[in-house]
A = this chain, B = another copy of it.
Amino acid sequence: PPGKKVLIVYAHQEPKSLNGSLKRVAVEELSKQGCSVTVSDLYAMQFEPRATRNDIVGCLHNSEEFNYGVETWEAYKRGSLSSDVVEEQKKVQEADLLIFQFPLYWFSMPAIMKGWMDRVLVQGFAHEFPNCYDSGLLKNKLALFSFTTGGTKEMYTKGSISGDIRYLLWPMQHGIMHFCGVKVLAPHICFAPEYVSEEKRKEMLIAWAERLKTLWKEKPINCSSEWYFK
């Protein structure tokens, strides 16, 4: 609805890919609804995935023994995180909804997107004990994982060798988003687009646009172990 803010964190190298089209469809449909949409196009930004000392501007809290978690927490409090991290945190802070759009790499997100999680969701900003899970600092926000797979839907079912697709969502949806207090909408999965017809891929884009039309009426999943492993 008008006024809602959406951040799409997008990780694909090729604009012509299905991931690229899914991203464009989301920008178009959500803009049409009156939402304000921002895209972090990680490859185009050459986003840095490595968690290093460079993420802290100026002196370290403890220069004798570098501890990334402690240093970034301290730097957040002092306002001395590197500018690319601060930029992403601003986008997150303003957003009502985070959409992660990516091809599944090795049962997870591509490293460039994992690096976004590692570097942006700093302690103090996204969580700060005991403010984690339901009381995480990003509560009142929503997240949605939208991704493509190499394997078919049948390959990702309970009892088959690759297991239920939900098993691999646990670290991403629960371990990251829920930990920060973010409520999780049902994932949007396009299975094996490389092995279906152009016609079917078009249907996938239409289905995504359709879902987005009523997205704001959706209830979050019950993000506890039962949802994943029941």
Contacts and interface: CB of A to CB of B under 8 A. Distances in A.
Interface string A124-165: 000000000100000000000000001000000011011100
A187 interface: no
A49 B117 contact: no
Contacts of A172: 107
A189 interface: no
A67 interface: yes
A133 B151 CA distance: 13
B133 A105 contact: no
A150 B132 CA distance: 13
Q: What is the size category of the interface that chain A forms with chain B?
A: 35 or more
Given A13-B66, A17-B67, A168-B170, A163 B225 contact: yes
Nearest to A121: B106
A228 interface: yes
Contact of A50 (B53, B111, B174, B225): B111
A52 interface: yes
A103 B13 CA distance: 28
A218 interface: no
Contacts of A69: 150
A154 to B, nearest CB: 15
A13 B228 contact: no
Contact of A112 (B17, B49, B67): B49
Nearest to A180: B106
Given A13-B52, A171-B171, A106 B133 contact: no
B168 A167 contact: no
Contacts of A106: 114, 117-118, 121, 171, 175-176, 179
Interface of A: 13-14, 16-17, 43, 46, 49-53, 64-69, 105-108, 110-112, 114-115, 117-119, 121, 133, 150, 158-159, 161-163, 167-168, 170-172, 174-176, 179, 194, 225, 228-229
